[in-house]
């Protein structure tokens, strides 16, 4: 075999060997990557909340009464002292047949007592006139010394007694007449009839100048003492309540800066933590998990005109800034994993994954601060799978 043929065969064998080696080599693992960033970093806690009036007023009925139709609607503004709604006397109760018959008997009895009182009055008037006449006659005889003084004084006493009994009989007639009118009124009342329009009403007035936020009653009807009719508040005092998980609430302090977002406006609103409630409560999450929540009150610091559309009970999202700094190295939290009791990442270098230990700091949502082990601009593998090892070939998607 000539030398040229040997060279060709050798090259062919080498090519086949190279192809076999390439075929047997594992293919690069496709990965997703992210860069190490350096700049402004915030550690924060975020949760949903809602707006609330700091000092709401629940206006209720002070007495058991009949509520007239409430004309004011939610959104209407009122001044302190303006009438909000009117109350009138409750309608008369319905009378059953037995009660009606008793009412008729009461009218008859009252009429009989009135007639008896009038007859007694006539008798007392007659007796009074006789006593007066007897007294005048004896007084004249006494003046002419024809009757003893004792007899004249006795006549005067009888005249005064007759006058008193006549007055008493007249009062008895008035009482009997009033009883008759009351009995007639009870009989003449129609079932469930409301008071006449000229009857006095009680106007319940606004305690403050503000806006009606809710109206619990609009239509007329009976109302009980203490029943809430409407709610009033000053929308300028609107604040935010966020029920944080207790493990997050312990990290929040009064005076912390808050960013209020997803409230419906284009820009986030600025706020400040006003108070962290000392008591928590249990709430079941959408997944059926018991959660301990703590109410946190936030004051809105942005100008009122920036959030003029907000009302009571509107949904928002609040971000509590626990810490922030500039020139901070941070990476996606998804790039971190535990290896030999230490945090590690895979750094992409020349198409291969290189294992590197790092020291982490604060976490905030999907980002984590790195204090040692990385430099800005390096490329990391996010969500590394178990197929990746130190030195593995990777293909960046």
pTM for the model:
0.65
Select from 141, 162, 163, 138 the least CA-distant residue to 152: 138
Average pLDDT over residues 277-296: 92
Select from 197, 203, 160 the least CA-distant residue to 62: 203
Average pLDDT over residues 377-395: 87
Contact predicate 202/84, CB 8 Å = no
Distances from the Cα of 220 to the Cα of 171, 199, 391, angstroms: 43, 16, 81
pLDDT of residue 203: 92
User: DSSP string covering 187-216, please?
Assistant: HHPPTTPPPPTTS--EEEE-SSSEEEEEES
Contact predicate 237/213, CB 8 Å = no
Burial code (b: 16+ CB inside 10 Å, e: under 16) for 9-36 equals eeeeeeeeeeeeeeeeeeeebebebeeb
Report the chain's mean pLDDT, rounded to a whole number: 86
pLDDT, tens only, 334-358: 999 998 889 999 999 888 889 999 9
**Residue 126 pLDDT grade (very low, low, confident, very high; cuts 50, 70, 90):** confident
Bridge-partner residues for 232, per DSSP?
57, 212
Q: What is the dihedral of CA 136, 140, 145, 146, to 10 degrees?
A: -70
Average pLDDT over residues 192-218: 81
pLDDT of residue 245: 94
Average pLDDT over residues 373-385: 90
**What six digits make up the tokens of 371?**
């204090």
Average pLDDT over residues 236-255: 94
**What six digits make up the tokens of 388?**
């990746």
Q: Above pLDDT 90, what percent of the chain?
A: 45
DSSP state of 55: S
Q: Above pLDDT 70, what percent of the chain?
A: 91
Q: How far apart are CA 130 and CA 226, in angstroms?
A: 63
Phi, psi of 260 (to 5 degrees): -105, 120
Average pLDDT over residues 100-126: 83
Distances from the Cα of 49 to the Cα of 34, 177, 192, 298, 391, angstroms: 32, 68, 48, 10, 47
Burial (CB < 10 A; 0-12, 13-18, 19+), residue 212, is: buried
Residue with more model confidence, 171 or 243: 243
Question: Backbone dihedral region of 108: left (phi > 0), alpha (psi from -120 to 50 degrees) or beta?
Answer: alpha
Q: CA angle at residue 170 from 169 to 175, to 5 degrees?
A: 95
Q: How far apart are CA 233 and CA 239, in angstroms?
A: 12
Q: Per-residue pLDDT for 110 more than 60?
A: yes
Average pLDDT over residues 135-152: 75
Select from 340, 353, 342 the least CA-distant residue to 380: 353
Q: Per-residue pLDDT for 78 more than 50?
A: yes
Alpha carbon 121 to its chain centroid, in Å, reads 67
Q: How far apart are CA 145 and CA 38, in angstroms?
A: 135
Q: How far apart are CA 135 and CA 107, in angstroms?
A: 41
Q: Per-residue pLDDT for 372 more than 70?
A: yes
Q: Per-residue pLDDT for 195 more than 60?
A: no
């Amino acid at each position: 075999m000539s030398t040229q043929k040997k060279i060709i065969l050798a090259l062919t064998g080498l090519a086949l060997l190279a192809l076999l080696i390439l075929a047997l080599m594992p293919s690069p693992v496709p990965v997703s990557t992210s860069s190490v960033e350096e700049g402004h970093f915030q550690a924060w806690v975020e949760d949903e909340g809602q707006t609330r009036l700091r000092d709401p007023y629940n206006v209720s009925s002070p007495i058991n009464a009949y509520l007239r139709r409430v004309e004011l609607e939610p959104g209407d503004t009122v001044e302190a002292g303006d009438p909000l709604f009117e109350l009138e006397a409750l309608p008369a109760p319905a009378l059953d047949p037995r009660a009606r018959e008793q009412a008729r008997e009461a009218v008859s009895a009252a009429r009989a007592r009135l007639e008896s009182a009038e007859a007694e009055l006539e008798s007392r008037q007659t007796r009074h006139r006789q006593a007066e006449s007897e007294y005048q006659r004896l007084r004249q005889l006494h003046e002419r010394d024809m009757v003893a003084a004792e007899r004249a004084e006795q006549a005067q006493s009888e005249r005064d007694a007759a006058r008193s009994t006549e007055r008493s009989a007249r009062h008895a007639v008035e009482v009997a007449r009033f009883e008759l009118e009351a009995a007639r009124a009870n009989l003449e009342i129609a079932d469930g009839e409301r008071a006449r329009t000229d009857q006095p009403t009680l106007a319940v007035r606004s305690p403050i100048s503000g806006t009606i936020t809710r109206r619990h009653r609009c239509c007329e009807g009976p109302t009980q003492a203490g029943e809430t009719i409407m709610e009033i508040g000053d929308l300028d005092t609107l604040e935010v309540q966020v029920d944080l998980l207790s493990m997050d609430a312990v990290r929040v302090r009064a005076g912390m800066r808050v960013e209020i977002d997803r409230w419906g406006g284009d820009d986030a609103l600025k706020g400040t933590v006003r108070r962290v409630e000392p008591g928590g409560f249990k709430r079941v999450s959408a997944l059926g998990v018991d959660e301990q929540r703590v109410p946190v009150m936030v004051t809105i610091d942005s100008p009122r005109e920036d959030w003029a559309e907000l009302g009571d009970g509107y949904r928002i999202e609040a971000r509590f800034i626990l810490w922030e700094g500039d020139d901070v190295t941070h990476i996606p939290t998804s790039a971190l994993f535990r290896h030999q009791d230490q945090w590690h990442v895979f750094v992409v270098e020349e198409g291969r994954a290189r294992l590197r230990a790092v020291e982490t700091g604060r976490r905030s949502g999907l980002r984590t601060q790195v204090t040692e082990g990385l430099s800005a601009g390096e490329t990391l593998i996010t969500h590394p799978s178990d197929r990746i090892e130190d030195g593995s070939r990777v293909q960046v998607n």
